[in-house]
Amino acid sequence: MASKIKVEVKDLAPLAERPWTRHYDPGVPATLVYPRVPLQAMLDDAAESHPSATATIFFNRKRSYKSISDAAWRFANGLRRLGIKQGDRVALVLPNTPQFVIAFYGALRAGAIVVPCNPRYTAPELQRQLADSGAMAVVVLSRLYPLVKAARAATSVEHVIVTNIKEEMPLVLRVLFTLAKEKKDGHRQPFAGDPGAAAFSEVLSAPAEPFDAGTRPDDLAVLQYTGGTTGISKGAMLSHRALVANTLQCRSWFANLRDGTGTAMAVMPFFHVYGLTVVMSLAVQAAAAMVLEPQLDLEHLLKDIQRHRPQLFCGAPIIYNAINNSPLAQKYDLRSIEACVSGSAPLLVETHRRFVELTGAKIVEGYGLTEAAPVTHCNPIFGAGKQKIGTIGVPYPDVESRIVDLEAGERELAPGESGELILRGPQLMDGYYKRPDETALTLRNGWLYTGDIATVDDEGYVAIVDRKKEMIIVSGFNVYPREVEEALATHPAVMDAAAIGIPHPIKGEEVKAFVVLKPGANATAEQIVAHCRERLAPFKVPKEVEFRESLPKTLIGKILRKELAREETAKRKTAVPA
């Protein structure tokens, strides 16, 4: 490789300690050297080693790594002018756009900690995240400015930096967008005169002068919000060291990426840790082009694959299913794709088969979680290593993986026995922000307790059997039952409520609500759903509502969601197809 921050192999650990490494693809090392550099050094390296290589492709407009790097330096200097200093939090409420890449690396260069936020959040959801993280600045798409304006009350936010999606479009498309869509679709939002509001272009008017913010590898880079068994959103503290490690682990796995010439589809959102590391950070490390998709528009996605011919496609089952089931897929040439990884939800065997048949690509299932920055396991991609469909594969280089008893979490189980999956490796989080008790439950003696129930076979391949946590995963997004239940509880007719995940062939899961009405009160399922739509992001809104006289509970009054899930599974098995 020509780049400086590259995959370097150190002395191999004995195979007896990591027997699964014998199933790696050729050239994938068992262990790596991790340079002690901050995450943004990868952009420095790409801009210096491959300045003219394409960094972003957005509605067919290309920007080079030098161009993106210069803009990130201007943004870093612009943040300093606003008073952002080392350790301050900068939240990003953006889809996959060049502005996200510029703001992310610019904030890191300024010494700030990035807080990626889901643009689909409601104002109360966003407000909780901004308040908990202590964000001082927010970068937001103009269409979403009213959301941030409503959410910033009772937070530390002093600056709101607003960018219009058209700013990075080609000139002709920008003009057409201004005439036909900008006002109609709500992108033209007034913010002049609002306290602390400024245009992205204004912040970018600062000089592109490099400076050293004093960031160290062990400093926090990202506060990535996740949830746990309590349903309370928590900020996983991901250091520069952890994110650099996971990026290099990913790079060692994707042997088809070529420095300065590769192309990756960027359809997984960057505000999600999967897209952040496995797409954006990996592409930057390889100085590869990112074909940015700000939303999942299937025809636009297929056109971009045919036009830009990416080799790497990282996605989720919902995306692969959408391609498989669309007649549009037959109209476009998708054969440039060499390697696909599926994450965020289980990959069904039929989904795998149909996508391979359609594209000829190598598609494998992997596994990760926010607390591990995120990837820890994957099936070998290129077939020289053994692939086992239905498993999440084997541990990444330098990742140790065990299955332990569910009670104490200390006794390692034999192959084939179900227990909790625990992990150890260089990419683990430092803990949950301001939540030492939750951290102590999840990080124990250097091991990350995932909350997932799994088995391992005698070759080291891991299969996820169930989730110890009760989190619902809809299209790869986490939904915490308690959040849904709290929204349900605010309906004036609701006395008691519970939420579980139910299977969905495309999304993986959907939310189902169980509701007990107050004596004498009336409400329809449609009214309950409409009430939730006002309080929850669309993917969190229940798709089914079942009214009951009571809910199963423990002696101390805790709702037994697992019992509801068991009843639901039994009912669906015995249901007669219509």
In a domain, 44, yes or no: no
pLDDT of amino acid 559: 81
pLDDT tens-place string over residues 431-453: 999 999 999 999 999 999 999 88
With DSSP H G I counted as helix, E B as strand and the rest as coil, what are the percentages for the chain, rounded to 5? 35, 25, 45
Confidence (pLDDT) at 577: 58
Query: Domain containing 556 — which CATH number?
Result: 3.30.300.30
Of the candidates 200, 215, 230, which is a domain's last residue?
A: 215
Residue 211 belongs to some domain of the structure = yes
User: Is residue 520 within 8 Å of residue 497, measured between CB atoms?
Assistant: no
Cβ–Cβ under 8 Å, residues 108 and 114: yes
Count the Cβ atoms, other than its own, within 10 Å of residue 354. 17
Residue 502 placed within a domain = yes
Does a cis peptide bond (omega within 30 degrees of 0) precede residue 374?
yes
Distance of CA 106 to the CA centre of its chain: 20
Based on its alpha-carbon atoms, the radius of gyration of the chain, rounded to whole angstroms, reads: 23
Identify the three-state secondary structure at position 326: coil
How far is it, in rounded angstroms, from Cα 222 to Cα 277? 11
Residue ending a domain, choose from 215, 246, 263: 215
For 273, residues 6+ apart whose C-beta sits below 8 A from its C-beta are 116, 222, 224, 238, 368, 370, 373, 374
Report DSSP state, residue 505: T
Tell me what pLDDT residue 352 has: 87
Domain count, the chain: 2
User: What does DSSP assign to residue 162?
Assistant: E
CATH number where 95 lies: 3.40.50.980
- Last residue of some domain: 215, 242, 270? 215
Within a domain: 79: yes
pTM for the structure as a whole: 0.86
- Euclidean distance between CA atoms 417 and 456, whole angstroms: 8
The DSSP secondary structure of 507-534, one letter per residue, reads TEEEEEEEEEEPTT----HHHHHHHHHT
Tokens of 325: 């089931």
Tell whether 412 is covered by a domain.
no
Residue 102 structural domain: 65-215
d(CA 365, CA 341): 6
* Exposure string for 249-263, b = 16+ CB within 10 A, e = fewer: bbbbbbbebebbebb
> Which stretches of the chain score pLDDT less than 70?
1-3, 10-17, 227-232, 384-385, 466-469, 554-558, 576-578
Parallel/antiparallel/unpaired status of strands 61-64 and 113-116: unpaired
Kindly report each contact of residues 32-37 with a partner whose C-beta sits within 8 Å and lies 24 or more positions away, as own/partner.
32/7, 32/8, 32/245, 32/248, 32/249, 32/252, 32/397, 32/398, 33/8, 33/9, 34/241, 34/244, 34/245, 34/248, 34/426, 35/5, 35/8, 35/244, 36/217, 36/241, 37/5, 37/217, 37/240, 37/244
Whole-number Å distance between alpha carbons of 492 and 517: 9
Secondary structure element (H or E) that encloses residue 118, with its range: none
Is 113 a domain residue?
A: yes
Residue 522 falls inside a structural domain: yes
Residue at 227 is within a domain: no
pLDDT for residue 486: 81
Closest by alpha carbon to 401, among 385, 382, 415? 415
pLDDT tens digits, one per residue of 70-125: 999 999 999 999 999 999 999 999 999 999 999 999 999 999 999 999 999 999 99
